[in-house]
A and B are shown apart, each in its own frame.
Chain A
Amino acid sequence: MPLAPPRSAGYNSPVPSASQAIRVKVLFFGRLKELTGHAEDSVEFADAATIEQLFAHYAARHPELAKYRSSVVASRNQEFAAWDTPLHTCDEVAFLPPVSGG
Chain B
Amino acid sequence: MATLPHDDIYQLVREPIDMAALTRHVRAPEDGAIVTFDGFVRNQSHNRPTLYLDYEAYQSMAFAKMREIGAQLHEKYRIHRVAMAHRLGRLEIGETSVFIVVSAPHRAAAFDACRFAIDTLKRTVPIWKKEYFEDGAVWADGELPPAPAATPRAKPAS
Contacts and interface: CB of A to CB of B under 8 A. Distances in A.
A99 B142 CA distance: 5
A86 B57 CA distance: 25
| Secondary structure of the A contact surface, majority rule | mixed
Interface residues of A, number: 25
B150 interface: yes
A55 to B, nearest CB: 13
Interface in B41-57: 55-57
A31 B139 contact: yes
Given A29-B56, A100-B128, A101-B98, A78 B64 contact: yes
B15 to A, nearest CB: 17
Interface in A24-82: 27, 29-31, 71, 73-75, 78-82
Interface string B93-122: 000011000000000000000000010011
A75 B140 CA distance: 21
Interface of A: 27, 29-31, 71, 73-75, 78-86, 94, 96-102
Given A94-B58, A96-B126, A101-B128, 14 more contacts: A29-B128, A30-B56, A78-B64, A80-B146, A82-B149, A84-B150, A85-B151, A96-B58, A99-B124, A99-B126, A100-B143, A101-B97, A101-B98, A101-B125
